[in-house]
Chains A and B, each alone.
Chain A
């Protein structure tokens, strides 16, 4: 592919006091690509997503979306430019119903819809993620997977140029996992550009075009899934880690 990357991360760094959670990490994501961001717990994956989405500001380095710098912008500016995300610990809006939760993504984000348009999109997306008929269900009482579906629908509602999924498949039982994987697979075939932080190796093998491996804040490998996962440094990073 010759197209310019949608996202390019150039020597991004994040320090928390003395701890360097993300250290000099660089990678690109191409249009329509599904990139897996993997690594042991505490290796800085969530922090990396936080730098991209603007939840945190990098202490050094640049991040550009579609060739324009976004590093240092506030989260709402980055969201309006087309970056959407889900959270590692699922975050739904408990006082709103499912429809309202998804509309929140449609109304303020990259595509700013309002009224009926936003409502219709919300219903389409609820159906899309498997929540048809639950538009007015109280979300606090939803099952875990339904809350995750809801969060995904909210993230999709802005029609993002880049979608960030932070362990979206974690905590699902085997049958739910199958549903989850095929849902993400559909998104990929629709041509969405996605960065997926994941521990579920099955999902990484089936879904990812490429992956970036982090360990202790540093990028230790990058490339096709099969070759990276067999890389000796990657194996060493994962050895002794329960999630491997």
Chain B
């Protein structure tokens, strides 16, 4: 493996940020830790989502389905299997569902994909509700562990780091190059020998697996899990909004959206608990309308303009 000095610098900077973030629970165990867990959860979810949706431009609303399956994997078997095994099961189950959905829909155009994933998430939720009513007497599952908020925070941080490393590895691989070609021109991609459907499905599975793991990590936090919370469609929408707000061209783009948006949502839901949906809806419209490429997109545009002006000035001087 040969790393460029640029990659080493970015890697070191990333490691420093992660190390700094890891010390947070040492300073506060209350409100700030709690909101940091939320931020870290959405950091993991949004980067995992962007792993697939960034290069393909497919908007997935199935996040809640993968997340819920991950949560339920832990809830169902926490008394029978060790926790790390459950995390593995969560990844497998979510990846399998992603594989099925991908095989069924990724040959279709983006519009069908959005609707299908939204419908799928609802379907999975209804199925789980139905199965629970039919086969058990309770509406939910108890998840008792000795895990604290700190543990969950650190696991989510580790997961986010894992998503970044995976994204970086994919970018250097044939799959990453294939996605770049597909993003440019799908017809050319097929004619140079890329199995475009397979590439997209693999990427969707990787993304789904990480989202499932995030669900598994979050399960102990709920203590009692039931379909409306584990498969809450709001999770899917929030992930899309935050990722688009940050920008999906780079894997770190969503982070720029996650941090402020989670904090704002926390304030909104505390002050106006009955109006959160309205705020989310308005935020969504505003982001899509005013900053379709996200904050990082805006910054890049501004930088490109500035550079163009610099070179123009340079040429004038030279002339």
Residues of B within 8 A of A108 (CB): 174, 178, 181, 192-194
Residues of B within 8 A of A13 (CB): none
Which single member of A74, A100, A103, A112 contacts B190 (CB below 8 Å)?
Answer: A74
CB distance from B224 to the nearest CB of A (A): 48
CB distance from B1 to the nearest CB of A (A): 11
- Which A residue sits closest to B188, measured CB to CB? A91
Q: Does A46 make an interface contact (CB < 8 A)?
A: no
Interface size on A, residues (CB 8 A): 28
Residues of A within 8 A of B195 (CB): 74, 76
Q: Does B180 make an interface contact (CB < 8 A)?
A: yes
Which single member of A53, A96, A112 contacts B191 (CB below 8 Å)?
Answer: A53
- Which B residue sits closest to A118, measured CB to CB? B177
- Which A residue sits closest to B194, measured CB to CB? A108
Contact of B193 with A93 in the complex, beta carbons under 8 Å: no
- Which A residue sits closest to B196, measured CB to CB? A76
Q: Does B187 make an interface contact (CB < 8 A)?
A: yes
Contact with B along A143-161 (1 / 0, CB 8 A): 0000000000010001000
Given known A-B contacts A95-B180, A96-B180, A105 and B192 have beta carbons under 8 A apart: yes
Contact of B184 with A94 in the complex, beta carbons under 8 Å: yes
Residues of B within 8 A of A91 (CB): 185, 187-188
Contact of B185 with A76 in the complex, beta carbons under 8 Å: no
CB contacts under 8 Å to A, within B131-160, are: none
Q: Does B183 make an interface contact (CB < 8 A)?
A: yes
Contact of B194 with A95 in the complex, beta carbons under 8 Å: no
Contact of B180 with A79 in the complex, beta carbons under 8 Å: no
CB contacts under 8 Å to B, within A134-177, are: 154, 158
Given known A-B contacts A79-B191, A85-B191, A93 and B174 have beta carbons under 8 A apart: no
Contact with B along A58-85 (1 / 0, CB 8 A): 0000000000000000111001100011
Residues of A within 8 A of B196 (CB): 76
Contact of A79 with B193 in the complex, beta carbons under 8 Å: yes
CB contacts under 8 Å to A, within B180-215, are: 180-181, 183-185, 187-196
Q: Does A107 make an interface contact (CB < 8 A)?
A: yes
Contact of B187 with A104 in the complex, beta carbons under 8 Å: no
Given known A-B contacts A95-B180, A107-B177, A76 and B194 have beta carbons under 8 A apart: yes
Q: Does A200 make an interface contact (CB < 8 A)?
A: no
Residues of A within 8 A of B183 (CB): 95
Interface size on B, residues (CB 8 A): 18
CB distance from A179 to the nearest CB of B (A): 24
A158 to B192, CA, bound (A): 8
Residues of B within 8 A of A74 (CB): 190, 195
CB distance from B205 to the nearest CB of A (A): 19
Residues of B within 8 A of A40 (CB): none
Contact of B192 with A79 in the complex, beta carbons under 8 Å: yes
A17 to B124, CA, bound (A): 40
- Which B residue sits closest to A82, measured CB to CB? B193
Q: Does A109 make an interface contact (CB < 8 A)?
A: yes
Given known A-B contacts A95-B180, A114-B174, A76 and B188 have beta carbons under 8 A apart: no
Residues of B within 8 A of A95 (CB): 180, 183-184
Contact of A80 with B180 in the complex, beta carbons under 8 Å: no
CB distance from A24 to the nearest CB of B (A): 26
Given known A-B contacts A107-B177, A114-B174, A158 and B184 have beta carbons under 8 A apart: no
A154 to B187, CA, bound (A): 14
Q: Does A210 make an interface contact (CB < 8 A)?
A: no
Q: Does A219 make an interface contact (CB < 8 A)?
A: no
CB distance from A243 to the nearest CB of B (A): 25
Residues of B within 8 A of A79 (CB): 190-193
Contact of A104 with B190 in the complex, beta carbons under 8 Å: no
Q: Does A55 make an interface contact (CB < 8 A)?
A: yes
Q: Does A45 make an interface contact (CB < 8 A)?
A: no
Q: Does A110 make an interface contact (CB < 8 A)?
A: yes
Contact of B191 with A93 in the complex, beta carbons under 8 Å: no
A74 to B194, CA, bound (A): 10
Residues of B within 8 A of A100 (CB): 180
Chain A residues near B (Cβ < 8 Å): 53-55, 74-76, 79-80, 84-85, 87, 91, 93-96, 100, 103-105, 107-110, 112, 114, 154, 158
Chain B residues near A (Cβ < 8 Å): 174, 177-178, 180-181, 183-185, 187-196
5 closest A-B pairs (Cβ-Cβ)?
A79-B193, A108-B193, A93-B184, A75-B190, A109-B193
12 contacts between A and B (CB under 8 A): A79-B190, A79-B191, A85-B191, A93-B188, A95-B180, A95-B184, A96-B181, A96-B184, A100-B180, A104-B192, A107-B177, A109-B193
Known: A79-B191, A96-B181. 8 other contacts (CB 8 A): A79-B193, A87-B188, A91-B188, A93-B188, A95-B184, A96-B180, A104-B177, A104-B181
